Amino acid sequence: MTFSIQNFRWTRQPAQFLASDDHVQIVTKPHTDLWQRTYYHFRNDNAPVFQMETEKKYFSFTVRTEFESKHRFDQCGIVMYLDSENWLKASIEYENEQFQHLGSVVTNLGYSDWATTAIDASIKSMWYRFSRREDDYCMECSEDGEQFSQMRVCHMHKGGGTIRFGIYACSPEDSSFKATFSQMALTECKWLAHDGQAPDGDL
pLDDT digit string (tens) for 6-29?
999 999 999 899 999 999 999 999
pLDDT digit string (tens) for 60-87?
999 999 999 999 999 999 999 999 999 9
CB 113 within 8 A of CB 104: no
Domains and CATH numbers, the chain: 5-194 (2.60.120.200)
Compute φ and ψ for 200, nearest 5 degrees.
Answer: -55, -35
Assign residue 95 a region (left: φ > 0; alpha: ψ between -120 and 50; beta: otherwise).
alpha
SS3 (DSSP) at 202:
helix
Mean pLDDT by 10 residues, the chain (203 residues): 89 94 96 95 95 98 98 98 98 98 98 97 98 98 98 98 98 97 97 85 64
pLDDT at 1: 65
Burial class (CB in 10 A: 0-12, 13-18, 19+), 96: exposed
Q: Which of 141, 136, 132, 140 is nearest to 154 (CA)?
A: 136
Longest dimension (CA), the chain: 55
CB 76 within 8 A of CB 176: no
pTM for the model stands at 0.95
What mean pLDDT is reported for the chain?
96
How many C-beta neighbours within 10 Å does residue 46 have? 13
Q: CA angle 17-112-90, nearest 5°?
A: 45
